[in-house]
Amino acid sequence: PYMTTLDRRTDLARRLRDKYGLQDFFIIRGDADESPELQQELAKLMAEEFQKMLFDGAVISVTGGSTMANVGKYLHPADEKLLFVPARGGLGEELGNQANSIASRLASATGGEHKVLYAPDNVGESALESLKAEPSVKEIAELNQQSHYVIHGIGEAFTMAERRNVDDETLAGLKDSGAVGETFGYYFDKEGDIVRKVKTIGLQLEDLESKKAILAVAGGSSKKEAVRAYMKMAPRNTVLFIDETIAEFLLDS
């Protein structure tokens, strides 16, 4: 039977909900690696759905990445009182892509407030312990624990590792362990098992299940293995924003 492209995507989302049992799926046309315009469409779709979920007093944990950086462009001033909290410290990425910057952008787009995490993420154990004792850092850790929503990107493991200039030893470790994806500083293999975890003051994976929703975004065929693996670790309260190419890959595999 004849299906419009929108019907087709609605149908893909329904089949994905049936197969994976996550809260919801939102899908844009095509393969987002093919054009910057599609990357923008993906960010816009996420911004629109996120805006519908907002309520007065909502606390939102946010991560970094170029997709998340675009989301701010499509948010509007909100009537609700909102607080955006960085889920991570600096991970060695360019400033505009870090969680602190994204939290500030989303806050200015919606007229909300934001917090800043004044701490790097890749520090040694003893430095981490003393940082955790700092009141301003502690406040962020607590807010991440209590936040209602998490909004984050999913990356391809080696794209992320290179972007963060990790050393050769770490890179070799990621190769040996079969890393395929990365999200909030955690690298995972195709089974969705964490293979490298940067010790962090920010959001912990165990905090995710208690959230109202986790909004995750990834577009482009280069991320299809990463998203398939992510599906094995995603909590049930996940809402996934992807493109048609990834959606079809998830259904076929």
**Which residue lies nearer to ligand G3H by CB, 19 or 197?**
197
Question: In angstroms, what is the C-alpha Rg of the chain?
Answer: 18
**Which residue lies nearer to ligand G3H by CB, 112 or 155?**
155
- Residue sitting closest to ligand G3H (CB): 65
CB of 93 to ligand G3H, least distance (A): 8
Structure tokens at 21: 């049992």
Structure tokens at 12: 């893909």
CA separation, residue 128 to residues 68, 131, 175, 201, 203 (Å): 26, 5, 27, 7, 14
CA distance 131 to 215: 28
Give the list of residues 6+ apart from residue 150 with CB closer than 8 angstroms, or none: 60, 61, 62, 63, 87, 203, 208, 211, 213, 214, 215
**Which residue lies nearer to ligand G3H by CB, 19 or 199?**
199
Residues 14-43 that bind ligand G3H (CB under 6 A): none
- Among the listed residues 92, 98, 88, the one whose alpha carbon sits nearest the alpha carbon of residue 201: 88
> Considering CB under 6 A, how many residues would be counted as binding ligand G3H?
11
CA distance 155 to 49: 21
User: Per-residue x/- mask for ligand G3H, residues 74 to 113, rule CB under 6 A?
Assistant: ----------------------------------------
**Which residue lies nearer to ligand G3H by CB, 14 or 103?**
103
Q: What is the helix (H) or strand (E) element at residue 195, kind and residue range?
A: strand 194-197
CB of 177 to ligand G3H, least distance (A): 17
User: Is 66 near ligand G3H (CB under 6 A)?
Assistant: yes
Residues 163-192 that bind ligand G3H (CB under 6 A): 182-183
Structure tokens at 103: 């939290």
**Which residue lies nearer to ligand G3H by CB, 112 or 220?**
220
CB of 134 to ligand G3H, least distance (A): 25
CB of 11 to ligand G3H, least distance (A): 27
Question: Exactly one of 63, 104, 147, 200 binds ligand G3H (CB under 6 A); which one?
Answer: 63
Torsion angle of the four alpha carbons 118, 162, 71, 206, in this order, in degrees rounded to the nearest 10: -60
Residues 149-168 that bind ligand G3H (CB under 6 A): 153-155, 160
Residues that bind ligand G3H (CB under 6 A): 63-67, 153-155, 160, 182-183
